[in-house]
Structure 1
Amino acid sequence: MLVYIITPLFPTKDNEVIGTFVYEQCKALVDRGYDVVVLNVTGLGWKNWNNNKMNEINEGFIEGVKFYNYYYRSVASAKFPLREMRKCENILNKMYEYALERHGCPDLIHLHFSFPLGKGVKNLAIRNKVPLVVTEHHSMFLNRNINNYLIKEVTSLVKNSSSFICVSTYLKESLESYIKTSVDIKVVPNMIDNRFEYHKLKSSTNNFDFLSIGSFRKIKKHDLLVKSFIKAFKESDRVSLRIVGTGKEKRKVKKIIKKNNREKQILLLGSKRREEVLEEIIACDCFTLASKDETFGVVYREAMAVGRPVVSTNNGGVLESWSDSYGVLAKKNDIEDLSNKLRYMYMYSKDFNHECISNQTLERYSENSVINMVIKVYEKTLKDVRT
C-alpha cells in the first residue's frame, strides 16, 4: 500500500525533535511493509527566512522514510488563517504533482494537523478521489478563541475525511465542542519510540533530579515551574531542576533563575538530540512539566516508559489513561499547589513502582500497540471505499 503522509512538522538535521511523533509513525509503517512518502510543508517565522532551502522542494531519506520538504515564509498565520491556507494549498498542489510523477497515485492520504494544510489536502483528496485519513494534534482547539472561518474549514475537513482521529479523548471533546457533526471521531494516541524502555534509577548519588522537557512557549509554563521549584526548595537542598528546550520565553525564565540565585540548582540545557533526551530521562528521578494545556503529552509518556514518576498540572492530555500510581497532579497556574507536589515527590518518589509505571505505559503506547490501531483505520477506510 502506498500512503502519502502530509504534515506541517517533520524532523530535519537542524531540528531532530520537531515532528518526531509523525516521523516515528512513518517509520513504523515502513517497517511493516508500507510504502510511505512524506510531503512536509513548513511555514517559517521571519527569523528563519535566511534558510537557503526556502521556496523549493527538497528531498531525502531518514531511515527508509522518503520525504519531500518545502519551507515558506509564514506571517501571522493564526491571525490570517485564510491567507495561510491558500498559500499552503498552492504549495501542496505542486508537491503532490511532483511526488505523483515519481511514486504514482497513493492508495490513501494521511494528514497530520488540520491547520494550515487541511483545506488544501481535503480539496486534493476529493479531486483525485483518494481516501483521506486525518490525525489532529493541534492545541489551538483547547482554547476558546478560534477564528470562525477556521472552524468552518475544520468542520468541512471532518465531514469530508474517510476517517478523522484525535490523539486524546480530551482533544476530541474539545474539537467536538466547536464542530457540530455526527461523524464518529476516533482516538488513536501518539506512539512511544522503542528506545524508551524501563531503566532502573541511578544509585550513585544523593542528589534528587527533576527533569522538564518542552519548548519555551507560554503554554508550557516553564516560568511557573521554576517559581514553584524555588518556593519548594532551599538553595542548600540537594535537589536540581534541569530543563531541555528553547524558545522565546527562555530569557524570561533565565531572569527568574538569576534573580533568585539558583543558577547552580536550575539548569537550562537548550535543545537536545533524541538520544540525549533519552539519556536525560534515564538520569532523572522524576519528570515534571507545568503545561497549561496538552493535547496528548508524548514527553510525559516517554518519561513514564523509562519508569519515571511524573509531577504534572491537570492539563487535559496527561489524563488519558492516568492513574495516581504514575505520579501527582497539581492545579493549573497554581504555584503553591505545584510547589507542594514537587516537595511531595521529592520525599516519596521511591514509594512509586517505577517498573510498573513503565510496563503499563508501554502496554498502551508502544510502537506495536499504536501502529496496529493506525493500520486498522487504514484497512477499514479502504474496505469502506471499495464497498
Structure 2
Amino acid sequence: MHILIIPSFLFNNKDKTLGSFFMDQARALKSLGHKVSIIYCDTYSVKYYSDFINYEEEEVSNVEGIEIYRTRKFCPFKHGNGVYGQKDSFANTILKLYDKYFSKNKPDIIHAHCALWGGYAAYKLSKKINVPYIITEHSTLYMLYPNVLNDKMNILLNKVFSNAKNVVCVSQGLKELIQRYCAKIDVIGNVIDCSMFSEHNKPVNRSTFEFLTVCYMKNEGQLVKKGIDILIAAMGEIVKEYPSCKLALGGSGDAVELVKKWADEYGVSENITYLGPLSREEVASQMSNCDCFVLPSRYETFGVVYIEAMACGKPVIATKTGGPDAFVNEQNGLLIEKEDVEALTHAMKHMLNNHYQYNSKTISDYVYENFSMESIGNKLIGLYKS
C-alpha cells in the first residue's frame, strides 16, 4: 500500500523535533512493509520573512526509507483573520508538489494530520485525483482558541471533516470537541518508538530524587501553556521538606527567562537544572535517568511526553486535560486537577515517599502493548483497508 501523508507542520533545520509524532507514525507504517511518502509546504508570514529568504530545507529527501517532498511559500496574510489566510497558499502548493512528483505514482490513500491545513489540502487533492483521505486531529485549536472558529471557519471545517473517509482523534477529550463536525470518529493515540524510549530501571534514592519536565515554554500573558508556573510554585513547597530534591527542565521558548524569574522568587533556583532544547535521543536519555516525569499542562490533546516517559518505565504526574486522562492510572502515575498547586505538591510528595509502589516493567509494558509502532501501525492499516 502507498500512503501519502500531508502534515500541517513538520520538523526543520531549526526545530528538529517539530511534528515528531507524524514522523514516528510514518516510520511505523514503513516498518510494516508499506510505501510511505510525505508532502509538505513551509509557509512564512511577513514576521518570518528572513526565515523564508534563508530557507535551507531540501525539496527532496529520504529519511529511513520515507520519501519527503517539501517547498516553501511566502504567505503575507498567514495570520490574517486567525489562521484562515494560510489555507489556499498551503493547499495550492501541495497540489503543485503532487503534480511535480506524484503524477505517475498515485497513492492508495491520503492521510492528513490536523484539519488546518493538512486536512484542507487533502480534501482538495482527493477531489483532484479521486483518492480517499482520512484525517488525524491533534490540534489544541479547539481547546485554546475557539474564538477563531467563526462561521466561515466552521463551514470550511465541516466540509473538510465530512468529506474524509474516516476521522481519527488522538484522545477522547479531543473527540468530544470536534463531534459537531462529524458523527463517526475513531480514537487512536500517538505512536511511541519503543526502541528509543525503553525501560531503564535504576535505583531510586529520596535524597537525590529528580523530577523531569520537557516542554516548549511559550509565554502566554505571564502564563505558560504547559503549567510551568504551577510546577515552580509546587517546587517552592517541596524544597521546604526535601531541600535536596531536584527538577531538570528541558526545552526552549520565549518564557524561559520568566521561568528563571519565578524560580528565584520561590527560592528554588539551586534545585533546578536547565537543559535547554533537546534532541529526541537526549529526551530519551533524560527520561531514562529521572525518577518521575511531571508536567502540569493546562491543555493537552494527547501528551506524547508522558507516554515517552512511561515507555522508559517512569511514573508520571499529569493533569486532567482530556489527553492523559485515558492512559494515566494508579499503576503508572497520578492524575490531578489543573491549576492546583496544592494538588501538584501533594502528588510530588507522594512520588518522593512511595516511588517503590511503581513497577518500571509494568509501566513500560503498558506503553508497548498500546502505543508501540506495531500496535498503532496495525490499527491504522485496519482503517486504510476499510
TM-score of the two chains, using structure 2 as the length reference:
0.91
Partner Cα separation in structure 2 for residue 137 and residue 198 of structure 1: 27
Q: Corresponding residue for 2:41?
A: 41
CA distance in 1, matches of 2:177, 2:114: 15
Q: Distance in 2 between matches of 1:223 and 1:204?
A: 26
Partners of 2:315 and 2:363 within 8 A in 1: yes
Per the alignment, in what secondary structure is the counterpart of residue 283 of structure 2? helix
Shift of 1:298: 1.0
Structure 2, unmatched stretches of 5+, are 219-223
Q: Secondary structure at the match of 1:191?
A: coil
2:296 aligned with 1:290: yes
Unaligned ranges ≥5, structure 1: 381-387
Q: How many residues align?
A: 376
Alpha-carbon shift at residue 78 of structure 1 (Å):
7.6
Match for 2:259: what amino acid? Answer: V
Equivalent residue in structure 1 for 2:233, among 220, 227, 237: 227
Query: How far is the alpha carbon of 1:68 from its aligned partner?
Result: 1.5
Q: Once the 2 structures are TM-superposed, how far is the Cα of residue 145 of structure 1 from its aligned partner?
A: 2.8
CA distance in 1, matches of 2:80, 2:261: 29
Q: Name 1:18's counterpart in structure 2.
A: 18
- Match 2:360 to one of 354, 357, 360: 354
**Using a 3 Å threshold, how does the CA distance of structure 1 residues 307 and 236 change in structure 2: closer, same or farther?**
closer
Give CA deviations for 1:51-70 in whole Å, capped at 9, x if unaligned: 55549972211111111223
- Establish whether residue 120 from structure 1 lines up as the match of residue 121 from structure 2: yes
Q: Cα distance, 1:90 vs. partner?
A: 2.2
Q: Does 1:215 align with 2:216?
A: yes
Distance 2:91 2:57 in 1: 15
In 2, the alpha carbon distance for the partners of 1:316 and 1:298 equals 13
1:159 to 138, 162, 176: 162
1:1-387 to 2 correspondence within 5 Å? 1-44=1-44, 46-47=47-48, 49-52=50-53, 54=55, 58-73=59-74, 77=79, 79-101=81-103, 104-143=105-144, 144-148=146-150, 149-176=152-179, 178-179=180-181, 181-182=182-183, 184-194=184-194, 195-202=196-203, 206-217=207-218, 218-234=224-240, 237-380=243-386
2:288 match: secondary structure: helix
C-alpha change, 1:205 and 1:317, in structure 2 (3 Å) is closer
Structure 2 CA distance for partners of 1:243 and 1:47, relative to 1, 3 Å: farther
What is the Cα-based RMSD across aligned positions, in Å?
2.2
Could you tell which deviates more after superposition, 308-317 or 258-267? Answer: 258-267
Residues 55, 153 of structure 1: CA spacing in aligned structure 2 closer, same or farther, 3 A cutoff?
A: farther
Instruction: Quote how far apart the aligned CAs of 1:363 are.
Output: 1.0
Summarize deviations over 1:26-70 as a string: whole Å, max 9, x none: 112222221111012233463573355549972211111111223
Identify if the C-alpha distance between structure 1 residues 264 and 47 changes in structure 2 by more than 3 Å, giving closer, same or farther.
farther
Amino acid at match of 1:199: H
Deviations along 1:282-337, one digit per CA (max 9) or x if unpaired, are 01000000111111111101111111111111121001133222111221111122
Is the contact between residue 235 and residue 268 of structure 2 (CA under 8 Å) also seen in structure 1?
no
**What is the CA–CA distance in structure 1 between the aligned matches of 2:201 and 2:188, rounded to whole Å?**
29
